[in-house]
Structure 1
Amino acid sequence: MKTIKGIYIIVLFMLCLIVSHHPALAATGSGDLLKQPAVEVSVSLGNAANELKFEPNSLEFVAGKRYNLRLTNPSQMKHYFTAKDFADAIWTQKVEAGKVEIKGAIHEVELKPGATADWVFVPLKSGKYTLRCSVAGHTEAGMTGEITVTN
């Protein structure tokens, strides 16, 4: 019993250290961040001419701010918004598409022709991240981009 209590105290202490070094996590815990209006950023996966590109293909976010990334696919083929390292460096509140809301860790979002999805998140870690469409041949055809997160 003493061992379990000791482990619990150590884990609690480590969690306090992590939260104190990540203001976005601290704000999330207190609910302040969820009251912050989400900054809307729109990205088109492809276009009506079926060109294989993200518009825009360069995205910039600030760590600790809440965003709503609106993804649309106006093309006649499916596309993926794939940025695993970026997804690992953010806290996802939700992904909403139609009448479905998904919560938890998200690493890529598939959009079928004409689809729209909203990805609400808070960047936690600064860096440069690669964006690509993982449909066979799309990355090679130039459907790539870069995501930058600053402090």
Structure 2
Amino acid sequence: MRTRNPLNLNNERKCSMKRIIAAAVLMAASSGTALAAGTHAGGHGDKAAAMPIGNPGEAGKANRTVNISMSEKDDGTMLFQPAMLKVKKGETVRLKFVNKGQVDHEFVMDVHDGIMEHKALMEKFPEMEHADPNSIRLAPGARGEIIWTFANAGEFGFACLIPGHYDSGMKGDISVAN
């Protein structure tokens, strides 16, 4: 059986402590950088102009206003009214929202795959803040708006991605015609 020299044990502790401190400093430095890197959006909050559905519009260029209510029913279903939006490519629309429900709701518009990716992220991190120009979150009784220019023709969607709301029916479609 090997016996340890008390002097070597002290040196081993010093080396181990140096390694622990170095690892802690490295982890702290890299985690600070990761936390400062952006929003829950994974960076898509900064690429609004590159979104297939379009980009934030100018209030003075809005061609029309669409009023959208958010609510839930006694049977547990949740909904947007209307659940279908039809717009034209290049049209700038003022989307005005009112949350008539008893709980927070949000509106996120995107390509269908983008909505499903965002839904999965919200299920993991339900309290994350939004910084995306294509979304809005409202408390009960609150009002808000998004002014949006629909840059491309195609079929898109919108949804409330607070966990459980999409699955309770809170979703809709956007058809952008040429």
> What TM-score comes out, normalization by structure 1 length?
0.59
Distance in 2 separating the partners of 1:39 and 1:118:
13
Matched, 1:44 2:69: yes
- In structure 2, runs of 5+ residues without a counterpart are 1-53, 115-130
In 1, are the aligned partners of 2:100 and 2:141 still within 8 Å (CA)?
yes
Aligned equivalent of 2:165: 138
Taking only aligned residues, the RMSD between alpha carbons, in angstroms, comes to 2.9
Distance in 1 separating the partners of 2:159 and 2:62:
28
Aligned equivalent of 1:5: none
**C-alpha distance 36-147 of structure 1, shift in aligned 2 (>3 A):** same
Aligned counterpart for 1:129 among listed residues 125, 134, 156: 156
In 2, are the aligned partners of 1:47 and 1:73 still within 8 Å (CA)?
no
Aligned equivalent of 1:72: 98
Distance in 1 separating the partners of 2:59 and 2:143:
22
Distance in 1 separating the partners of 2:80 and 2:103:
14
Distance in 2 separating the partners of 1:106 and 1:142:
23
> Matched residue of 2:156: which SS?
strand
- Identity rate of aligned residues, in percent? 24
Distance in 2 separating the partners of 1:68 and 1:147:
14
Residue 38 of structure 1, CA deviation: 3.0
Residue 108 of structure 1, CA deviation: 1.9
Residue 37 of structure 1, CA deviation: 4.8
Aligned equivalent of 2:133: 106
> Matched residue of 2:107: which SS?
strand
> Matched residue of 2:168: which SS?
coil
Aligned equivalent of 1:63: 89
In 1, are the aligned partners of 2:108 and 2:159 still within 8 Å (CA)?
yes
Aligned equivalent of 2:176: 149
Distance in 2 separating the partners of 1:45 and 1:58:
13
**C-alpha distance 142-47 of structure 1, shift in aligned 2 (>3 A):** closer
In 2, are the aligned partners of 1:43 and 1:70 still within 8 Å (CA)?
yes
Q: Cα deviations across residues 80-105 of structure 1 (Å, max 9, x unaligned)?
A: 1012338x9xxxxxxxxxxxxxxx95
Question: When you count strand as a share of all residues, which structure comes out higher?
Answer: 1
Distance in 2 separating the partners of 1:37 and 1:145:
22
Is the deviation greater in 35-44 or in 106-115?
35-44
In 2, are the aligned partners of 1:48 and 1:74 still within 8 Å (CA)?
no
> Matched residue of 1:83: which SS?
strand
Aligned residue pairs, count: 106
- In structure 1, runs of 5+ residues without a counterpart are 1-23, 89-103
